[in-house]
Amino acid sequence: MLRIIHYVNQFFGQIGGEDKAGAEPVVREGAVGPGMLIDQLLAGQGKQGRVVATLICGDNYFTEKTERAAEELIRLIDGTPFDVFIAGPAFNAGRYGIACGEMCKQVKEKFGVPVITGMFHENPGADLYKRHVHIIATTGNAAGMSQAMPKMIQLVLKMFRGEPVGRPEDEGYIPQGVRANILSDRLASERAIELLLRKMRGEEVPTEIPFPSLDVVPAAPPVLSLAGVTIAIVTEGALVPIGNPDGIESARATRFATYSVAELEKLGPEKFQSIHRGFDTTLINEDPNRLVPADALRELEREGVFGKLHDDFYVTAGVATTMENARKIGQGIASRLKKAGVAAAILTST
């Protein structure tokens, strides 16, 4: 039999209204309030399960001391064996929605059981938690309880049985904003041929991959005179000290690092290596200056072509980096260079 733990706020937990919103976490044996509906629905399906415990917490208590409240609530059920966790539904109650989302997220992480909640799509908890947990779309108020709860139970049972979760429109959950790998009944090549023939007939055909918008960065104005200017070298070629002390990833990098060229005439292969996964690094590892041209820049520096070579060079690995991380890395490097008074940078790419 399926053992369910249900989370509700002070109102649905029958402690009281807004005046009791500061109520501390408690646990009650069996179903309380909407938990009765869960028991009824499951009884109707041949006694598949029941609510073994109900967690109740005041909305203010949870949102004002979220970390502590969640910790206390989890402590209350730690040791109680259960199979799935249901929170709410919270409809359009904002604080309750956040509590349901956060509890589902934490219970899923800590106990690894299927979790589900329900909310109105405009509930602030929906945006905050839809990526992390499945949230059944509900009406704005509790009048929709009898529609919402069966959908919540149906989906969480499906997860419990290990069946794949279907599309948002079929299962009734708020779209999570992710793209899931699924198996089509036809080969990609067959779909492509069909779409091409339709496009050639003049039909409007859908694209399977939505086109992302391009983020175009306007170029900085040119440096008019190099006299006295500090120049830095930035590379996505993953040139790091032997042993890669900062653990820069060889592909799909999440960070950058800086290494000093101060007082170095050039970069020696005994000190630096490229750990990049996107190109053949043999030649770079024979002479790292061909990726980070410290030798040539030192010479130009001596000749007075420009002011100074910046003491540090900046490194990441540019291969299959996610947009999010690429943006973060780029902005990080640019702001550090700006702070250091660097007027121009040479970006070497691979």
Partner 1 sequence: MNLEMRYFDVSDIQFGSKTSYGGGCLFINREELIALISEDKRLRHVDMELANPGEKTRITNILDILEPRINLEHRDYFPGMLGAIRRAGEGTTNVLCGAAVFEIGSMQGLCGALVDMSGPGAGFTPHSRTHNVCLLTEPSAGLQTVEYGLALKAAGLKASVYLARATLGAAPSGMEGFNLDLPRRDLGNLPRVGYLMQLHSHGDSREPFVYGDNTRRYYPTILHPNEIIDGAIVCGHYNISTAIKNSTYTILNHPVVLGLHRRHGRELNFKGVVISPEPTSLVEIRRTSMMAAGLLKHVLQVDGVIITKEGGGHTDVDLMENCEACEALGIKTVIIDNEWLGPDGSGELPLLAISPRADVMVSVGNVDGMINLSAMEKIVGGTFMHDLGGDLQQSLHIPLRFIPNAISQAGFTHLTTEGR
Binding site for partner 1 (CB under 8 A): 131, 165, 167-168, 175-193, 195-197, 199-201, 205-212, 214, 278-280, 319-324, 326
Task: Report helix, strand or coil for 5.
Answer: strand
Least Cβ distance, residue 197 to partner 1 (angstroms): 6
Cβ of residue 234: shortest distance to partner 1, in angstroms?
18
Distance CA 30, CA 53 (A): 5
Report how far residue 350's alpha carbon sits from residue 238's, in angstroms, rounded to the nearest whole number: 10
On whether the CB atoms of residues 54 and 93 are closer than 8 A, the answer is no
| Rg for the chain, CA atoms, rounded | 29
Sign of CA dihedral 291, 296, 302, 306: negative
Cα gap 16→27, rounded to integer Å:
15
Of 254 and 258, which has the nearer Cβ to partner 1? 254
- Taking the least distance from each CB to partner 1, the nearer of 6 and 130 is 130
- Nearest in space to 38 (alpha carbons), one of 117, 96, 99, 131: 117
Rounded to a whole number of angstroms, the minimum distance from the CB of residue 310 to partner 1 is 27
Judged by beta carbon, residue 181 or residue 225, the one nearer partner 1 is 181
| CA triple 118-166-54, angle to 5 deg | 30
Strands 308-309 and 230-235: parallel
Cβ 183 to partner 1 shortest distance, Å: 5
Q: Shortest CA distance to 236 belongs to which of 319, 325, 331, 334? A: 319
Task: Give the residue from 15, 38, 36 showing the smallest Cα distance to 25.
Answer: 15
Cα dihedral 325, 327, 328, 332 sign:
positive
Q: Could you tell me if 97 and 119 are in contact, meaning their C-beta atoms sit under 8 angstroms apart?
A: yes
Nearer to partner 1, 160 or 279 (CB): 279
Least separation, in Å, of the C-beta of 282 and partner 1? 9
Query: What single-letter amino acid sits at 186?
Result: R
Least distance (Å) from partner 1 to the CB of residue 149? 22
Instruction: Write down the least CB distance from residue 220 to partner 1, Å.
Output: 21
The residue (of 54 and 350) whose beta carbon lies closer to partner 1 is: 350
Residue 205 or 229 having the CB closest to partner 1:
205
Query: Which of these, 243, 310, 249, lies nearest to 270 by C-alpha position?
Result: 243
Residue 153: CB minimum distance to partner 1, A: 20
Which residue, 81 or 202, is less far from partner 1 as judged by CB? 202
Nearer to partner 1, 74 or 195 (CB): 195
How far apart are alpha carbons 310 and 307 in whole angstroms?
9
Nearest 5 degrees, angle CA 94-CA 96-CA 101?
Answer: 95
Instruction: For the CB of residue 66, give the shortest distance to partner 1 in the complex, in Å.
Output: 23
Nearer to partner 1, 180 or 262 (CB): 180
